[in-house]
């Protein structure tokens, strides 16, 4: 990459615009609340995107260019990349073409050859940081209840995808499921969603309920059913 100063400045403003948009996003607001509950020593607790102030204030374009080039040199090398090809050509032809185009890539710096650092210690959510009840002033008329459960880092389990199994079991909406119990039998929720986010700090299982008026008054039953 050239890291041309004019394009760097343009990208900084693009990131700032995206951040300004996200500030108004209800889901992003909730995630920031969760991040604020994390251990201050963990990257999870820190500002995780960027804006004009954090990306450029007090920084000359030449300094920013040097920082970007340094980051690129430390973190972008073949050992940390993967290449996928597809097409009508045979596999052998695709491999030959890939070797022709990418075979002369530099091995990269010694730092880049090292194993990737993980950030799961200290744990973002230790036992004393769990079991909290937080009331958030929302911007939408639909009341929500959200449960968050810390899980180990699942990035190395990409082949077995255990998070998909969890999502399928909990998110199943058929007969005798949690959704039909809470929505159809008890009338406490209008919808129910399960998601898992994972990175090198660990994974987070998010269970979200859109509550009815009855559900807002009987949150204890919703939690008890889960």
Asked if 186 and 104 touch (Cβ cutoff 8 Å), the reply is no
CA distance 52 to 40: 23
Q: What angle do CA 214, 217, 219 make, to 5 degrees?
A: 100
What's the average model confidence in pLDDT over 148-170?
Answer: 90
Distance of CA 33 to the CA centre of its chain: 14
- Residue 78 or 210, more confident: 210
Alpha-carbon distance values, 98 to 42, 76, 116, 220 (Å):
39, 18, 25, 57
Q: Is the model's pLDDT at 215 over the cut of 90?
A: yes
Could you read off the pLDDT of 97-133 as tens digits, one per residue? 999 999 888 888 888 888 888 899 999 999 999 999 9
Query: pTM for the whole thing?
Result: 0.78
Locus of tokens 């909406």: 173
CA distance 82 to 194: 29
Q: Is the model's pLDDT at 159 over the cut of 80?
A: yes
Who's near 206: CB < 8 A, 6+ residues apart?
Answer: 146, 147, 148, 194, 195, 196, 197
Residue 106's SS3 state is coil
CA distance 28 to 21: 10
- The pLDDT assigned to 60 comes to 65
Locus of tokens 């009840």: 133
């Amino acid at each position: 990459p050239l890291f041309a100063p004019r394009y760097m400045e343009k990208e900084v403003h693009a990131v700032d615009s995206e951040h300004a948009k996200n500030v108004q996003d209800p889901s992003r607001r909730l995630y920031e609340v969760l991040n604020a509950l994390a251990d201050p020593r963990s990257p999870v607790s820190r500002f995780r995107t960027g804006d004009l102030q954090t990306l450029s204030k007090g920084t000359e374009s030449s300094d920013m260019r040097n920082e970007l080039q340094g980051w690129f040199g430390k973190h972008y090398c073949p050992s940390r990349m993967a290449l996928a090809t597809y097409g009508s050509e045979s596999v052998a032809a695709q491999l030959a073409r890939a070797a022709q185009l990418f075979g002369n890539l530099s091995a990269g710096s010694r730092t880049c050859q090292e194993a990737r650092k993980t950030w799961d210690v200290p744990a973002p959510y230790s036992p004393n940081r769990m079991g909290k009840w937080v009331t958030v002033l929302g911007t939408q008329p639909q009341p929500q209840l959200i449960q968050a459960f810390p899980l180990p880092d699942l990035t190395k389990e990409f082949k077995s995808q255990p998070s998909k199994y969890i999502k399928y079991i909990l998110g199943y909406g058929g007969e005798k499921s949690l959704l039909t119990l809470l929505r159809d039998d008890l009338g406490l929720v209008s919808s129910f969603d399960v998601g898992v986010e994972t990175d090198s700090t660990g994974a987070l299982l998010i269970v979200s309920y859109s509550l009815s008026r009855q559900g807002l008054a009987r949150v204890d039953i919703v939690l008890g059913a889960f």
